[in-house]
A = this chain, B = another copy of it.
């Protein structure tokens, strides 16, 4: 994604008793999010933690033109999107809103 964009990272921390269904996440949750956010969502990536002490089981990243574009697209659907989380994980994710510098 290009310089200057807004990246929203959803970070699922590893921990004892934590579960994460990567198949559901990639194949169902992402489609739900994509449909709800529409054209405001400029791209998305998913990464799975590999190292045994990886801080995060999974990281999902969404790209928007600006923080405002994210808020406008996400706000009205926040409840529905967050309501899907128990279908694939018991982890409460950390949300990071970043500016892409490089």
Which residues does A use to contact B, with CB under 8 Å?
1, 6-7, 9, 11, 22, 26, 30, 44-51, 54-56, 59, 67, 94-102
Contacts and interface: CB of A to CB of B under 8 A. Distances in A.
Contact of A49 (B46, B49, B97): B97
B67 A50 contact: yes
A22 to B, nearest CB: 7
A96 B45 contact: no
A25 to B, nearest CB: 9
Given A7-B47, A47-B7, A59-B9, A54 B99 contact: no
7 contacts: A11-B55, A46-B101, A47-B98, A48-B101, A49-B96, A49-B97, A51-B97
